[in-house]
Structure 1
Amino acid sequence: MLENQKQNSTLREIRWGVVGVGKIASDFVHAITLCQTPNKIKAVASSDSLERAQKFCENNLLDRNEVECYGTYSELFNDEFIDVVYISNLNHQHKENVLAALNSNKNVLCEKPLAVNKLEVEQMVKKAKEKGLFLMEGYWTRCFPLWSDIMSTHLNSLGNTELLSVEFECPINRVDATSGIKNGGEGYLLASGCYCLMITQLIFKSEKPLEIIVNGKLRENGLDCWANILIKYSDNKLARIFYSGEHRGDGELSIYCEKGNIRIPEYFWCPEEAIIRRYPDPKTVPHVLSVKPTTEKINNYLPEFNLFNYNYPKTAGLFYQIDHVSNCLREGKKESDLMTLNDSILLAETLDEIRKQLGVKYPQDDF
């Protein structure tokens, strides 16, 4: 442990600027203290109020001698001492702020979803490539060690993946039942359902769907509140997805393979535990139900974080993503290998198709 700390102390410190002063930004600045590599918050910006940025620093115990406060985003983007910005504001604001950051020669980690539709994502990706800068969509899930273990070792050992079942049920207060579609990016698909689609894309290795079938419910204001989604892939592979902003659930995920299955019993988007079952070859036993499967439990628990009450479940795990981005920057990478820019484009395309079938259209859409 001491050897690792000594090695990490020689790494270049990555200096972060935080765009937005909401709840997820608050969790982010606390999670960074858990990083295993040198990372530091150096600036915080509110959209239109220096006082709000200063209050954010005060509430989150940030040292004002080390952290610059700005009353506009543009001031932060022009800060020459910032290596990378974390954009945490509302969905419809992502495009404008990502492009502004890139135009100011800043690397960017943008909270999910990267944009409200595929067209916007493509514009952002194009700009990042033109400028030769790093850009990543902030699906922290893909940086969790447990998912790394599942994808690199356990899933392949079970043979071909045949079926995925995943659910995300969680009422979210910020989706106002009366406001309707105003700026774009509203609704539960982009609030929580997108996590289900992101993990589906990971498990099926970024394969483009052959068919997407959607049934769901819209509120009177035109926003989606839940949907059941079937996605068909080649070789009869299938994903069944359910997300809801009206019900409570555990966030369970199950992957069914030729030789067994993998189950994450809760919080699949920030998991600490999984159960792997391996079944006997039907040809070697009198009846497959006569022999119990072998069961293996794997885990990778978050470190203790009792000093701060996070706003969202397990968001201390944001430090995995922060470490990943900072390592990418030290290595000179322009995109993440865990959540590539092509991943973001394909995901946005899938989300667009789901909204089309639900009948949810934003002002930014061209369909």
Structure 2
Amino acid sequence: MRPCPSDLPEGFLLKGGGMVEVYDTTLRDGTQREGISLTVEEKLRVATLLDELGVHYIEGGWPGALPKDTEFFARAEKELDLETATLVAFGSTRRADTEADSDPQLQALLDANTEVICIVGKSWDYHVTEALRTTLEEGIAMVTDTVTFLRSEGKRVFLDAEHFFDGFAHNPDYALSVVRAATEAGAERVILCDTNGGGLPGSIAAAVSATRSAVPDATLGIHTHNDSGCAVANTLAAVEAGVIQVQGCVNGYGERTGNADLCTVLPDLVLKQGVEAIPKERLTRLTTISHLIADLVNISVDPHHPYVGTSAFAHKAGLHTSALARRSDAYEHISPAEVGNTTRMVVSEMAGRSTVLGKAREHGLDLDDATAATVLTTVKDLEAR
């Protein structure tokens, strides 16, 4: 398996380089999108595709909570031969006022037999007192006890600090105490979650920076939702602020308006910021894998989806297509081949002669200028009706 970063060196992940882990949660958080339901067979196929893409971690589901996920982990152990990825079982901390070693949900996580377990724990005091209906002290103990127990069973443990950014805004001392408790108990990663999706890049970056300063031993990740339309931007802001793990879903699937879209986050990091997230040669599979997974969940990729949509590199205006014929970078921010996509010329009333000639060449036709002009006139006449 590909090595993951384990330390946080000085100046890590400032602009212009660095390394991050990629944690895909399509099989768990992604399936919480309305209209998505995967069979175990489909989940195994998605996991194989994610491994081909080169992600570090694949969150397979919540064993014990869903029979389908319990079956998935049982079959994955026998049937999946992952090359780059580590499979992760997801669950919650022990219940309030119970012992970790007698919690059946934690036993189900152990029975999944994965190297890594990701635990979700409350980091917003409001949720501890109102949703869990317990004390803040017990909320911290639930995190500490769970991480300690799973570590004693030989598991690597990540903690998803649920509602971290709302909690940090409301009661920063408590939110930071959750990060500190998880780290001291042995959590390898503490992932700061914008669970309600309301964060903006500036506040996300500020909270990440403050957390790094307050809990310097913590190794941080980011998990964002898109309710304010900023999941990708918030993820990139968190990376610049120093997280080393990004979580997200293929095609931005997820609860409500979705999670951070890895089909945008990954090329943004690799191609725009020089961050080592997945190898560039695997990034060329991005468009194909995006569409294959879309077929499995039975939701077509938006044609105008950044990077992987069929129209992401489609050009309609005549001036654009004319310039592209001379310089491919004139109206394209990257080479489409870098993400496995292609340039398309769209023939319309806005087209010029170069568009018609280019489209003809796509179909193996060699038109002269006069014929191209006739075709263009016909198209413009038809679209004017």
Q: TM-score, normalised by structure 2?
A: 0.29
Structure with the larger strand share: 1
Q: TM-score, normalised by structure 1?
A: 0.30
Q: Higher relative contact order at CA 8 Å, sep ≥6: structure 1 or structure 2?
A: 1
Structure with the larger helix share: 2
